[in-house]
Chain A
Amino acid sequence: MIHHPPKVMRYLLKSIISEELFDDIDGDLMEVFQDRTETLSLAKARALYAKDVLFSVRNIGLRRKLKYFNPLVMYKNYLKISFRNLLNHKVYSLINIAGLALGMAACLLIILFVQNEKNFDGFHEKKEVIYRLDEVQTFGDISQKVALSMFPMGPSMLNDFPEVVNFTRFWSRNKLLLERGDKRYYLDQTVRVDTSFFDIFDFKIIRGNPEEFFSDGFNLVLTESVAQRVFGDEDPIGEVMKFSDEEQFIVAAVIEDIPDESHLQFEALIPMTLWDSEGRQNNWGSNFVNTYLQLVPNTDVEALEAKFDDFLVKYTDEGILEAYELFLQPLSDVHLGSMDITHDYQNYKKFSESSVKIFLLLAFFVLLIASVNFMNLSTAAVANRSKEVGVRKSIGAYKGQISAQFIVQSFLLTFLALAVAIVICLVSVESLNQMIDRELSFSYFLTPTWLAIIFGTTLLIALLSGFYPALVMSNFNVISALKGESLKNRNSGFRNILVVLQYAIAIAVIIGTSVVVRQLNYMQTMDLGFNRDRVISLPMYFDTNQQYDLLKSELESQSNVLSVTATTQRLGNNLHQAGMKYRADTALIEGVSSFVQVDLNFIDVYDIQILEGRSLSEEYELDKQGNSFMVNQALAKMISQDAEEVIGTKFHFGGADTLGTIVGILEDFKYNKLTNSVEPLFINTQPNNNWSEVNVKIRGGDITSAIEEVESVWQNLFPRRPFEYKFLDEHFEELYKSEQQLVKVISILAALAIIIASLGLFGLSSFMVRQRMKEMGIRKVLGASVIQVLVILSKQISLLVLIAFVISAPLTYYLLQDWLDGYAFSVSLGVGIFILVGGLSWLSALLTVSGHSLKVALLNPVKVLKTE
């Protein structure tokens, strides 16, 4: 007679005793129990059994060391089996590894880029305490942040605020012609700085002494490559270089070339002392220098900024607060946080922080898609290995060992993928550098922290993707495993969620990319209201300006030149603002407006439409004196609603004694970057030639010979000045460089997202279809056509894509609308693009699946069914 001990207690025993000991101990306890039932009552025996189980708690940590158990052998076996599995399913392995590797590579490169952006200016030791002094200028309705400050601000702040330890100003002289012997060189960027420059910033000095550099005004610091260019292998220290006959400089020091990750870029430095005139020292009003302050560590920046209003009033008057507000920008923010700051000329490769965030987000998504894919494929793949698991279990594999096997396989795959990813990165980092104009180096990751992060993440992916198959397979019932029953019903829900997630992300990324690209194209091809085609601009200098009239007439006589004009500011740059006055009724009203001074034929050359009145002209003496003004519509509306009234309005600007007149109204042509809306603008000429550049409109056709003609005219007139030029439309393209880089990177990521998602679906569909082979065979036998089978097989994936679309479309719409709102001129966000992308993703999903479906649909049903 067999009696049964309490089930609960036996279950408890199972959970107490380790797996490998349970059978022995369970048997012993059972035997003792049975023996007792012969002499004692059943209840008593059961109570004693319970007591035995409870006493067995002492054996909770007991393990049986297997004498001949060498785990190494088994791990070797796992690896071997994993490799065989990889080779047996070559396509699947390739897809799985390639997908994950692509995702990892994209993620690594993006992180590299983001780190590079965040480390901009990171080489200055005092970076924590260096701030740039910026202004908020308010003129009427327009308020803008400006990177410039006034000449006396730095020294006065050092004087007034104990928090300020040091200051340096940075005042560019732009391009300078430099003579040495009979040779001439252009220095791309020569900058005037204060004596404290090297105390605040860490640019490495190779030769010479910076102290000496500031001791006497006429000294010069060169960068290494300039010194190399001019002096070759000679020692440049103490050598004389001429900017002009009056300006001779002695080279006092040579510094290392400016690192690419510095927002300040220059080729030569000259001391500020030469320009530190009394006039400038008291010039509270003009903003033309960048001021950098070094503060006491842990200064309360907000408290310091709060004192700036009083500071401004102290040196000027109460009225200044209406137009100016000062604020401090940490050095670490200058590179990424200056997108809303204008007149920011000393900010090399400036980039927007939001773009960096978008990149990071996308990189994360791509990695997520890739990992999800990897997990998905892994789970799908193990479903076909249930027989193997069954055999392993029946010859005595423990649960833990089965789990270990799948985890090992997952490790193998992920680390293979990591290796491939690193190879991809190494190969592609150079072309990426060219595309985004950076100097990224993969060696950046060779620090313990980064290696730990990379390996840690890979480990995590391996564990996560190995975990699910391990869990499912180790819990699999031996009998059903041996029968080869698949796991289809148990985890297809989980897999479907993953597919939906992938497609939702992919759809969002594609829609986002296409809208960004459209916006960018829109801005670049938009009719700006003036014709910038085939216009080249030549920079003008003091000496060349003196011969402007001659230059103009010589150029105009060339066969390939259509017309020549000149300007003080280049279109596309944020034009400067200035105060102006106009007479309305009887009162003189003061206001602020953007302005540009141009040669009289400027409006004709650029083909800007005149709405009312006339253009500036040589015929009028007043025009030539700069007393006739043209205003744009925005300014005209400010003056009067009645356009005819505007014509003839007295208008005043600058130091001129007499009142001028408005002679014409221009269309609101878009003279700024399109992020800004068109603000009021007036145009006049200046009687003395003091142009910053000459614009030459050339005839279509032979552009090369046109440029050759312009060059020969220039060289004849100014033999000392090397010829330089730039196409205006190139300049406009550069305005959107940061956006273009954004688009390039996003497009690549979007493509990757799609490729990886498709790869995943392709792999997955082969498993999905295989599991339904018999069903399809029966359907065919019962008379289903090939088309019907295809439709049935496509139904599921269509549903998944639809769900993905429904989830991601509204979210994407909201985010994109938000982004487009940042532009004054933006494309409208139509529903069309959503439908298009949704449809295309559906089609691509169908195509991906169809390969496998078609195979099944065309298969002879006998082949599938005969094995049953």
Chain B
Amino acid sequence: MKGIHLGEFEELVLLAVASMKTDAYAVSIKNEIEEKVDRKSNISAIHTALYRLEDKGFLDSYLGEATAKRGGKGKRLFKVTAYGYQALKEAQDKRKVFWELIPQLSIQGI
């Protein structure tokens, strides 16, 4: 797993996609992040993250239905790949290592 690096925002986007069962596309992901973690972001930032994640192989995409609201263009729907889940898990595990150390340190300090 060397060389694979998840940026903070990328991890957030990846988590958001993972949490959404269906209909995960740029606009809905943006709304989800705003709602769940109260973080405002520009749609273009979401695009950057999504396509990079897809490029890295963490996300898979397919074309969804088109709506009039979208000017007749289809949605690009994303879902997390197995590799993507693995990357998320790994990121969590790395953090865990440090979390497990923190309580001991604080006890000693008291």
Contact = CB atoms under 8 A, between A and B. Distances in A.
Nearest to A27: B73
B45 interface: yes
Contact of B76 (A24, A29, A34): A24
Contacts of B44: 52, 55-56, 58-59
Interface in B25-52: 25-27, 30, 42-45, 47-48, 51-52
Interface size class of A (residues with CB under 8 A): 20 to 34
Contact of B70 (A21, A30, A51, A52): A30
Interface in B1-59: 25-27, 30, 42-45, 47-48, 51-52, 54-55
A62 B73 contact: no
Given A23-B73, A27-B71, A32 B43 contact: yes
Contacts of A51: 42
A30 B48 contact: no
Nearest first, the 8 A-B pairs at minimum CB distance are A27-B73, A27-B70, A55-B44, A24-B76, A56-B44, A30-B71, A28-B26, A55-B42
Interface of A: 2, 21, 23-32, 34-35, 51-52, 55-56, 58-59, 62, 64-65
Nearest to B69: A34
B71 A59 contact: no
A24 B77 CA distance: 10
A59 B42 CA distance: 12
Interface of B: 25-27, 30, 42-45, 47-48, 51-52, 54-55, 66-71, 73-76
Residues of B contacting A: mostly: helix
A59 B48 contact: yes
Contacts of B70: 27-28, 30-31, 34
B50 to A, nearest CB: 9
A599 B99 CA distance: 126
Which one of B48, B67, B73 has the greatest number of beta carbons of chain A within 10 Å?
A: B73
A816 B109 CA distance: 106
A62 B51 contact: yes
B47 A59 contact: yes
B71 A25 contact: no
Contacts of A62: 47-48, 51-52
23 contacts: A23-B73, A24-B75, A24-B76, A27-B76, A28-B26, A28-B27, A28-B43, A29-B43, A30-B70, A30-B71, A30-B73, A31-B69, A32-B27, A32-B43, A34-B70, A51-B42, A52-B44, A55-B44, A55-B45, A59-B51, A62-B51, A65-B54, A65-B55
Nearest to B76: A24
Which one of B47, B66, B76 has the greatest number of beta carbons of chain A within 10 Å?
A: B47
A32 B69 CA distance: 9
A157 B32 CA distance: 98
Given A32-B27, A62-B51, A27 B43 contact: no
Contacts of A55: 42-45
Given A28-B27, A31-B69, 11 more contacts: A26-B71, A26-B73, A28-B25, A30-B70, A32-B27, A32-B43, A35-B27, A52-B43, A58-B45, A64-B54, A64-B55
A252 to B, nearest CB: 77
A27 B74 contact: yes
A51 B73 CA distance: 21
A859 B70 CA distance: 54
Nearest to A4: B71
